[in-house]
């Protein structure tokens, strides 16, 4: 009986040793080496997993960057320049300088500018509504107002304004691009935040000609090219009956704003125009001139009026 146990234990031990040796060589043959810097880069990232970088998540982004061996084309919109500088130091590379971005709403078809003509009664998502009808105001290019962009945002950066019926972006925006992907009408665009957070853009993507466009929305771009003609920096492009301002070329001179006949061009975070100040000064000057009249002058004015009568 003891011999049977000894043979059994010996056999099982031998099998275990052989199996262990085989598993060792198999593991060595097929082992996958993972660069330890991937963990360091992932830890430096904000762990938002928003996909704004173009990868499925922060881990995939870290793997892609370490594998590439450079930072060209890599950018974390949530972390911004500070995070990318930290990642660059981990990898011993130099981070590209990128301008901060923010989402803008390129539609001004509010309830006032584009009054309701029909009432939508269906699945309350923009994705569904875009397949079934043009929109409450009749514009087949404008915002549908059913808040798909709001639902997609993980940073509480976009909300619907109940008075206008349009989404509004706040300073929580990280430019992750989730709202851009969620909008079936493509009215949301990522643009440079701009110097002192000042931006100019055409808040309309309507491709219809002037009359049909204005019929559905009073502030639609009518493709008149007036902004295109006055721009000294060739920053405005006319395409498909609408104007588009290239934020890389735009110098924020604002010459295009006053010439737009429909007020389709929006200027964000700019001070009041100097023209208004000059007009106010002119009014003040004229008022001072009237108050500065002497009694003799006033008497002469009365004599002149009497003679005229």
Tens digits of per-residue pLDDT, 179-212?
999 999 999 999 999 989 999 999 999 999 889 9
Q: Work out the angle at residue 182's Cα, subtended by the Cα atoms of residues 178 and 186, and round it to the nearest 5 degrees.
A: 105
Residue 50 is predicted with a pLDDT of 87
Q: Where are the domains of the chain?
A: 37-91, 101-268
Residue 260 is predicted with a pLDDT of 97
Residue 273 is predicted with a pLDDT of 65
Secondary structure percentages of the chain, helix, strand, coil, to 5:
40, 10, 50
The second-level CATH assignment, the architecture, of 37-91 is Orthogonal Bundle (1.10)
The residue ranges of the chain whose pLDDT is under 50 are: 275-278, 283, 287, 289-294, 299, 303, 305-309
Residue 247 is predicted with a pLDDT of 94
Give me the phi and psi of 3, to 5 degrees please. -65, -40
Residue 285 is predicted with a pLDDT of 52
Q: Which CATH class is domain 101-268?
A: alpha beta
Tens digits of per-residue pLDDT, 80-105?
888 999 999 999 988 877 889 999 99
């Amino acid at each position: 009986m003891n011999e049977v146990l000894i043979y059994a234990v010996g056999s099982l031990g031998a099998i275990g040793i052989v199996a262990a040796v085989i598993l060792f060589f198999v593991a060595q043959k097929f082992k996958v080496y993972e660069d330890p810097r991937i963990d360091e880069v992932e830890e430096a990232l904000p762990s938002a997993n928003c996909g704004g970088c173009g990868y499925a998540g922060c881990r995939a982004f870290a793997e892609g960057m370490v594998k590439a061996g450079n930072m060209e084309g890599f950018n974390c919109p949530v972390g911004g320049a500070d995070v990318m500088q930290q990642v660059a130091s981990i990898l011993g590379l130099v981070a590209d300088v990128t301008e901060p971005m923010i989402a803008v709403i390129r539609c001004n078809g509010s309830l006032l500018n584009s009054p309701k003509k029909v009432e939508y009664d269906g699945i309350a998502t923009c994705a569904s509504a875009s397949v079934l009808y043009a929109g409450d105001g009749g514009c087949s290019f404008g915002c549908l107002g059913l808040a798909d962009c709001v639902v997609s945002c993980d940073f509480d950066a976009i909300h619907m304004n109940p008075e206008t019926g349009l989404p509004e972006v706040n300073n929580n925006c990280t430019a992750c691009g989730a709202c851009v992907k969620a909008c079936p009408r493509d009215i949301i665009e990522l643009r440079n935040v701009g110097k002192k957070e000042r931006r100019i853009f055409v808040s309309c993507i309507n491709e219809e000609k002037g009359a049909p466009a204005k019929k559905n929305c009073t502030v639609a771009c009518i493709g008149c090219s007036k902004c295109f003609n006055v721009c000294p920096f060739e920053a405005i492009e006319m395409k498909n009956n609408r104007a588009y301002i290239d934020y890389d070329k735009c110098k924020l001179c604002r010459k295009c704003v006053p010439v737009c006949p429909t007020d389709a061009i929006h200027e964000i975070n700019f001070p009041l125009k100097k023209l208004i100040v000059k007009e106010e000064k002119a009014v003040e000057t004229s008022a001072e001139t009237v108050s500065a009249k002497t009694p003799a002058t006033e008497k002469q004015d009365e004599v002149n009026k009497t003679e005229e009568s």
